[in-house]
Chain A
Amino acid sequence: MPDSLLPNDGLVIVAKRDCPTCVLVEPVMQSLDRAGPLAVLSQDDPTFPSGVRSVIDDQALERSFRLNVETVPTLIRFKGGKEVERTVGWDRKEWTRLVGAAVGEDLPAWQPGCGSKSVEPGVHEALIARYGDPGLKSREISVGNWDDPMEACFERGWSDGLPVVPPTDERILRMLGGTDRKPDEVVGLIPPNLAPCTVEKVAINSVLAGCKPEYMPVVLGVLEAALDPLFVLHGLLCTTHFSGPLVIINGPAAKAIGMNSGVNALGQGNRANATIGRALQLIVRNVGGGLPGAIDRATLGNPGKYTFCFAEDESDPDWEPLSVRRGIAPGKSAVTLFHGEGVNGFIDQKSRTPEELVRSLALGLFGVGHPKLCLAGNAVLVLTPEHYKIFRDAGWNRRRIEDALYQALKRPGRDLVRGAQGVPEGLPPSMADQMVDKFQPDGLLVVRAGGEAGLFSAIIGGWPGQSVRDECQAVTKEIRP
């Protein structure tokens, strides 16, 4: 529809005071105002340019948006109510040609313009939401103007119990800007309801979780790993056990978005760590319909079911990252998903040799699930810098640490069978004469993280569902850019 404030036949200039080139051409705008039909859309100050009668206040940026202006100044010629030509920045030849008369002869021949306020980061998406077609397919939910949108999200059951960020169109559009993938692409079917989840739904739930747009490729990678049938997300969701998805990020993506692999890596305080893990849980809740007390039958659960995500410390070039150990090419970003039950702190301030520390760690690892249970679930061992230094100083690499732990985690079955040590829990009597592994051969995932001080490590127990190796394992996938 034609804009009644713009000349049907004449010139439109879009400008802002904050742009030195716009200020440079202020005399040109004044002379054009005297010459014929002209409208100047002023993006930041309706008193600029001075001496021009037809300045239109466009601080709301609606007209700049509708005219698809990317640079200021932009000079547009209209004929019969339609745009016929435009030029951007200051180029005397172009302006002279478009105006049809000599202009700005005392000015430099050329000077580039500045970015239009309407395309500033975040602004463009807000303008699409306000004046354009956001192209979103998810249905709109109206909240009364006097209602608190955050409370409305709680009331609709979209929250994990903590406040969520209300998913407005502009926030969703910004989030979608973090990925090249199309909003209507289906990422997969989310259990338990096996509901199709589009990139758009991922973006909406990432908004709820508090993610930044640049986290989107990681969130999408996490979701793809979670939906690998080998991860058995449905089973993990409905288990009575403690476990939930534990997310470990490797590679340049973790650095790029500022993930924490150092001090308090398993704790609070880092936005990427906190919100990426939370986004996965919210997708399962909202898209899949996986609700605690409904399909989620956890007896106790664990605090990591709000979010449990960290990056591996890859600062030592001699350390083989977890993702590389699990088949991803070096230098690539990857996500590893594990069924984690929570953090069990392990203290050893006396071991000084790798052999001592391995024996000591094994004592801690035997406790996963139950000290007398074996092959009933796997574990992640998070080596902190001080514990890792004991191995590194002795020339031990990842493979040697893993092999030594695997050997140290073998025990005679006779000590572990039911009734042994006066404890009914244990292995079947038929295993009494065997040497029994605590974990499957690739069942202990060793990863580095943590602050520089503290002769501690962390043991994160797995899930009994992992006992059937062919059916359920940790999953590692490359993150697509």
Chain B
Amino acid sequence: MSTVIKLRDPTAETSPVRRARLAPPSSLDGKTVALMDIGKSRGKEFIDRLEDHFKKAGVATKRYAKPTNTKVAPLELMQTIAAEAQLAVIALSD
């Protein structure tokens, strides 16, 4: 059985087939970085360290956490992060 569905490109094909990732911002000035703990063990320690680094660099951060590492983040959490931050670090540990 085929593992993909094939569509044909309706565009002028001037962009790559694989969608490009968003370019990183040239500066973090004035931006807020979301730090999301995905709920794995020692994740908090890892994010604490990251937060320290951002603070030293003068970058604003906000903390978020998934209720459990076994499921995808709730939509409301994703929407809150998108509304309150311009960048996100989704961190794991173990």
Is B8 a contact partner of A167 (Cβ separation < 8 A)? yes
Q: Would you call B70 an interface residue if the criterion is a C-beta within 8 Å of the partner chain's C-beta atoms?
A: no
Residue A149 contacts which of B7, B17, B19 (CB distance < 8 angstroms)? B7
Are B14 and A193 neighbours in the complex by a CB distance under 8 Å? yes
- Pick from A138, A152, A195: contact of B8, CB under 8 Å: A138
> Once the chains bind, are A138 and B14 in contact (CB under 8 Å)?
no
Q: Is B56 in the interface zone, CB < 8 Å from A?
A: no
- CA gap between A195 and B14 in the complex, in Å: 9
How many chain-A residues does the 8 Å CB contact rule pick out?
A: 35
Partner of B13, one of A136, A139, A149, A166: A139
Q: Which of A193-208 contact B (CB under 8 A)?
A: 193, 195-197, 201, 204-205, 208
Kindly state whether residue B79 has any CB partner on chain A within 8 Å.
no
A256 within 8 A of B: no
Contacts A195-B14, A289-B14 hold; do A139 and B4 have CB atoms under 8 A apart?
A: no
Complex Cα distance, B7 from A289, in Å, reads 19
Q: B residues within 8 A CB of A142?
A: 4-7
Is A35 among interface residues, defined by CB-CB distance under 8 A?
no
A106 within 8 A of partner (CB): no
**Given A193-B14, A289-B14: A139 and B5 interface contact (C-beta under 8 Å):** no
- CB neighbours (8 Å) of B7 from chain A are 140-143, 149, 152-153, 166-168
B26 CB → nearest A CB, Å: 21
Instruction: Kindly report which residue of chain B lies nearest to residue A288, judged by CB atoms.
Output: B12
Residues in B with CB closer than 8 Å to A147 are: 5
Expressed in whole angstroms, the minimum distance between the Cβ of B10 and any Cβ of chain A is: 4
Residues of A within 8 A of B11 (CB): 158, 286-287, 289
| Chain B residues in 8 Å Cβ range of A287 | 10-12
- Output the least CB separation between B75 and chain A (Å): 15
B4→A143 contact, CB < 8 A: yes
Q: Is A182 an interface residue (CB 8 A)?
A: no
Name the CB-closest residue of A to B2: A145
Instruction: List, in ascending order, chain B residues with CB within 8 A of A193's CB.
Output: 12, 14
Contacts of B1-48 to chain A: CB distance below 8 A: 1-14, 17, 19
A205 to chain B, nearest CB (A): 5
Contact of A172 among B2, B3, B8, B13 (CB under 8 A): B8
Cβ contact within 8 Å between B13 and A145? no
Determine the chain A residues whose CB is within 8 A of the CB of B13 once the complex forms: 138-139
Size category of the binding interface on chain B:
10 to 19
Interface contact B12-A169, CB-CB below 8 Å:
no
Tell me the smallest distance from the CB of B23 to a CB of chain A, in Å: 17
Q: Which of B3, B17, B19 contacts A139 (CB 8 A)?
A: B17
Report if A156 contacts B (CB, 8 A).
yes
> Per DSSP, are chain A's interface residues mostly helix, strand or loop, or mixed?
mixed
- Residue contact A149 to B5, C-beta cutoff 8 Å: yes
Assess the A140–B8 pair: CB atoms within 8 A. Answer: yes
**Interface presence of A382 (CB below 8 A):** no
| CB nearest neighbor in B for A204 | B10
Residues from chain B with Cβ under 8 Å of A156 in the complex: 19
Q: Scoring B residues 70 to 89 as 1 if CB is less than 8 Å from chain A, else 0, what string do you get?
A: 00000000000000000000
- Are B12 and A282 in contact, CB atoms less than 8 angstroms apart? no
Nearest-neighbor residue (CB-CB) of A196 within chain B? B12
Bound complex: CA A328 to CA B5 (Å): 45
Q: Would A289 and B12 count as touching, CB distance under 8 A? A: yes
CB-CB < 8 A to B2: which residues of A?
Answer: 145
Type the 1/0 row for A152-173, where 1 means its CB is closer than 8 Å to any CB of B.
Answer: 1101101000000011110010
What's the minimum C-beta distance from B17 to chain A, rounded to whole angstroms? 6
Cβ contacts under 8 Å, B12 to chain A? 190, 193, 195-197, 201, 286-289
Identify the interface centre among B1, B10, B14: most chain A CB within 10 Å of its CB: B10
Nearest residue (CB) in B for A206 is B10
Smallest CB gap from A144: residue in B: B4
Complex Cα distance, B17 from A193, in Å, reads 19
Scoring B5, B6, B7, B17 by chain A CB atoms within 10 A of each residue's CB, the highest score goes to B7
A412-431 to B contact mask, C-beta < 8 Å, 1/0: 00000000000000000000
Bound-state Cα–Cα, A101 to B4, Å: 50
Q: What is the CB-to-nearest-CB distance from B20 to chain A, in angstroms, rounded to a whole number?
A: 12
Which residues of A lie under 8 Å from residue B3 when comparing CB positions? 144-145
Q: Which residue of A lies closest to B19 (CB)?
A: A156
Out of A141, A153, A204, name the residue touching B17 (CB < 8 Å).
Answer: A141
Return B41 CB to nearest CB of chain A, in Å: 29
Query: Would you give the shortest CB distance from B1 to chain A, in whole angstroms?
Result: 8
A-B contact pairs, 7 of them (CB 8 A): A141-B6, A193-B14, A204-B10, A205-B10, A282-B10, A286-B12, A289-B12
The list of the 10 closest CB pairs from A to B, nearest first, reads: A195-B12, A142-B4, A138-B8, A204-B10, A286-B10, A143-B5, A286-B11, A141-B7, A139-B9, A140-B6
Residues of A near any B CB (own CB < 8 A): 136, 138-145, 147, 149, 152-153, 155-156, 158, 166-169, 172, 190, 193, 195-197, 201, 204-205, 208, 282, 286-289
Known contacts A140-B7, A145-B2, A158-B10; 6 additional CB pairs below 8 A are: A144-B4, A145-B5, A190-B12, A193-B12, A204-B9, A289-B11
* Residue ranges of B at the interface with A (Cβ–Cβ < 8 Å): 1-14, 17, 19
